[in-house]
Structure 1
């Protein structure tokens, strides 16, 4: 029986048997479908394949449940305007009173959801894309469409604060990583220089636009080297559009970055690009600090991003 490896100290035990009980209690028509773990690298949700065309997502911690509710409310609307598939929510089960079937009497305290399964491969940071230029254009088209969605009633993104608000924390994390990062051959003084440049860039003055908020390898799918789906919208909401430029360093090599920025057009000016580098940096150093002992996938991705950001040969930053 597959059990979700724990990443945080305060998450409940989640395994295939729990998922079977939850599904059987609330959705008897699906009770006989096979259940199996669908990847173990997610940090906010445990995911279990249900049959061949569904996936059950279970928040790992309190706080992640609100993101689940937001996804369930907004993904249907966003799916109508984005040029690539996004997860289609099929059902959501809210916690009930003790003793009710399925919640929390089954030993799981948070709301959980069932989504339509999307086929595709998860890219690996640092592994070359088969079609880098086309991938960059695909991502630019998706972000352009997302930025154009009406924000009336939209929530603020988890990353909706100005980049400068993360200054003290980011510098403290860089200082704490100095030995760890330097051991991987990366100069933490160079990291600080990238961060300083990002903070010197003109801040975003316009209203927040729709962002995904977390465009990194675990949250997109590819087929034939092309972007085939965008998933895990838990950080979505309104923010500075520079937040989504983290994709340039988390998902792309130099060729894809060049294509990506060119396809985004003049609205993505130098200041926005620098802020995007800053967002990639602050996310990556925090992920390396937090996950280096508990989640090798996340830590390895963060190390790759840090190297991309500080490499003198990395095209377009």
Structure 2
């Protein structure tokens, strides 16, 4: 689980954790851990500080402060979702190990999970890989086949009604006027925001960006950050098509999934909702995420099958 180092604080109130304090906290929670194997990892992660623990474990410390009790409840729910996801995912995925409590060294609860080897996928590295397109199709088919247990999408995040994100998209378009072809993108959004929803919820990873997919030898070899696993619009996990794949491989993916025109275009809309905020927000602090936004938006604008 490796990636590129960010170039500065990404959030106004971002928390700081030294390797020394990380080692102290982990040693207290996991006395058997060898302090010599504990090290902060350079990543492009936008929500967590990632710390490697030996060969088999990793800790994730939140980057932003919030109410500790609410954060602990969220981490508990994330661990439950991770375990459920790992049980159905056809690729290796981290499993929950332990929760750490707030302390003088770090004011928020944090988590430990198993380590999955591989390199974080980028928007280009797998673009022309037939095998990666097939791996992504197998992943999505496995998730769609998992039982929802009568659960429905909940929450303000992506995966429900596209129009809920109208204010966010408008803000992103306005902030991107010097960075992106805003008029073209705004016209696409006018169409996409009106797309109807016809298919019932399916189980979804809910955040299939390249940083959450691991690769080796042109294949997908692991899936990370499944704490949001739950029921959602079946088009939501299609975002990986534009985040990862070139036009030919997107067609290959779509054929294997048997996706309708409407569902495919809703997938493009969800990819847009996710990508439109990446450039302006991370342009100075996280070049990896900003470039993902640019790459995905280019693919969406150039795709003759949508919009």
TM tier relative to shorter chain: 0.7 to 0.9
Q: TM-score, normalised by structure 2?
A: 0.88
Q: Does 2:52 match 1:49?
A: yes
Give the counterpart of 1:118 among 111, 116, 119: 116
- 2:254 aligns with 261
Question: 2 CA distance for matches of 1:226 and 1:257?
Answer: 15
- 1:189 aligns with 183
Q: Please, which runs of 5 or more residues in structure 1 have no aligned partner?
A: 96-102, 182-186
Look up the SS of the partner of 2:111 in the other structure. Answer: strand
- 1:98 aligns with none
Give the counterpart of 1:140 among 121, 137, 140: 137
Contact 1:45–1:57 at 8 Å: present in 2 too?
yes
Question: 2 CA distance for matches of 1:295 and 1:308?
Answer: 21
Deviations 1:272-316 (A, max 9, x none): 1111111111111112222112211111111111111112xx364
Deviations 1:197-236 (A, max 9, x none): 3223222452x22111111111000111111111012433
- 1:13 aligns with 16
Question: 1 CA distance for matches of 2:130 and 2:190?
Answer: 30
User: 1:129 deviation in Å?
Assistant: 4.3
Contact 1:72–1:92 at 8 Å: present in 2 too?
no
Contact 2:239–2:267 at 8 Å: present in 1 too?
yes
Question: 2 CA distance for matches of 1:225 and 1:73?
Answer: 31
- 2:195 aligns with 201
Give the counterpart of 1:212 among 196, 205, 211: 205
Q: Please, which runs of 5 or more residues in structure 2 have no aligned partner?
A: none
Deviations 1:227-280 (A, max 9, x none): 111101243322111111110111111122111111111xx2111111111111
Look up the SS of the partner of 2:27 in the other structure. Answer: helix
- 2:171 aligns with 172
Question: 1 CA distance for matches of 2:27 and 2:150?
Answer: 35
User: 1:66 deviation in Å?
Assistant: 5.2
Q: TM-score, normalised by structure 1?
A: 0.85
Contact 2:82–2:227 at 8 Å: present in 1 too?
no
User: 1:61 deviation in Å?
Assistant: 1.9
**RMSD after superposition:** 2.2
Look up the SS of the partner of 1:178 in the other structure. Answer: coil
Provide closer, same or farther for how the CA distance between residues 10 and 39 of structure 1 changes in structure 2, counting only shifts above 3 A.
Answer: same
Look up the SS of the partner of 2:97 in the other structure. Answer: strand
Contact 1:67–1:234 at 8 Å: present in 2 too?
no
Deviations 1:135-162 (A, max 9, x none): 1111111111112222237573632330
Contact 2:144–2:204 at 8 Å: present in 1 too?
yes
Provide closer, same or farther for how the CA distance between residues 150 and 299 of structure 1 changes in structure 2, counting only shifts above 3 A.
Answer: same
- Aligned residue pairs, count: 295
Look up the SS of the partner of 1:91 in the other structure. Answer: strand
Contact 2:158–2:270 at 8 Å: present in 1 too?
no
Question: 2 CA distance for matches of 1:180 and 1:66?
Answer: 38
Deviations 1:24-51 (A, max 9, x none): 1121111434122223210111111111
Q: Does 2:33 match 1:34?
A: no
Provide closer, same or farther for how the CA distance between residues 138 and 203 of structure 1 changes in structure 2, counting only shifts above 3 A.
Answer: same
Provide closer, same or farther for how the CA distance between residues 37 and 179 of structure 1 changes in structure 2, counting only shifts above 3 A.
Answer: same
Question: 1 CA distance for matches of 2:73 and 2:262?
Answer: 32
- 1:99 aligns with none
Contact 2:122–2:210 at 8 Å: present in 1 too?
yes
